[in-house]
Amino acid sequence: MQQPDKNYPIGCQVCRNTQDLGIDFTMAFQPIVDVTRRSIYGYEALVRGPNNESAFSVLSQVNDGNRYRFDQSIRVKALDLANKLGLQGILSINFLPNAVYRPEACIRATLEAAEELNFPTERIMFEVNEGERVTDGDHLRGIFEEYKRHNFITAIDDFGAGYAGLNLLAELHPHIIKLDMALTRNIHTDRVRRSLVFAILAACKELSIQVIAEGIECIEECVVLAEKGVELFQGYHFAKPGFECLPSIPESAWASIN
């Protein structure tokens, strides 16, 4: 079978056949928790090698020739595994904005897979990594608008550690931002980080943008942010990514959170 190029909007069955893609990969899943309800809000799908190799080992094989096909394939792989594992709540998927040449065409495989698996689009969150340089802001805004039109949740990943900063909030107005761990790390002892993060939280509240705090490794970090109204958290304090499985949250992780 001829490998699709950027002029050919592929479907989910093509995406499932990754043999000619030349990149073997699977997924790990890390929970995103809601501390107000002491429950799992959803899981982020994270690319891994077939033997649990790092994401870098997989992403380093992506190039201009296979970027589009790979981006399409990771979406379908994440949906397939999430469905197989019985994932409830939100499924969060990272996408490569520079691989999306025409949003309405490139979303086709995701929509087909979601319909086939009876996975509602409002339970799918697409994260764009702020660290990936996007040269065409209008193009990225068009992607977000198309995803919103199909009831997908839109998110900016690693907010506060990238190229665009606060400008992305004004341009994209995502449903969610994920605070980068560089901002949340040791926030309970770092006055500068607290000041910066609290200002971001105030802006997000004004704009009705929900916040997920990433990289939470201790209860103290969680408590400081929860007291400021953050409800959603992700990090090793709650659970590490599970290779092709959905980790649960130990009861001890909720200690000291009111």
- Number of H helices and E strands in the chain, helices first, is 10, 9
Low-confidence ranges of the chain (pLDDT < 50): 1-8
Contact 156, 185 (CB under 8 A): no
pLDDT of amino acid 88: 93
Structural tokens at position 193? 């980080």
**What is the predicted pLDDT for the residue at 162?**
62
Residue 209's alpha-carbon distances to 18, 154, 170, 178, 257, in angstroms, are 36, 10, 11, 10, 23
For residue 22, count other CB atoms closer than 10 A to its CB.
Answer: 13
Nearest one of 205, 150, 151 to 177, comparing CA atoms: 205
pLDDT the model gives residue 172: 87
Give residue 106's identity as a one-letter amino acid code: C
Q: What is the pLDDT of residue 14?
A: 54
> Whole-angstrom Cα distance, residue 231 to residue 93?
20
Q: Round to whole Å and give the CA distance between 54 and 125.
A: 22
List of domains in the chain: 12-246 (3.20.20.450)
17-39 residue pLDDT tens:
565 678 899 999 999 999 999 99
Q: What is the dihedral of CA 235, 213, 100, 86, to 10 degrees?
A: 50
**Residue 129 has what pLDDT?**
67
Which pLDDT does position 5 carry in this prediction?
46
3: tokens are 């490998």
CB 27 within 8 A of CB 46: yes
Please compute, for residue 213, the number of CA atoms within 13 A of its CA located in the half-sphere on the CB side: 34
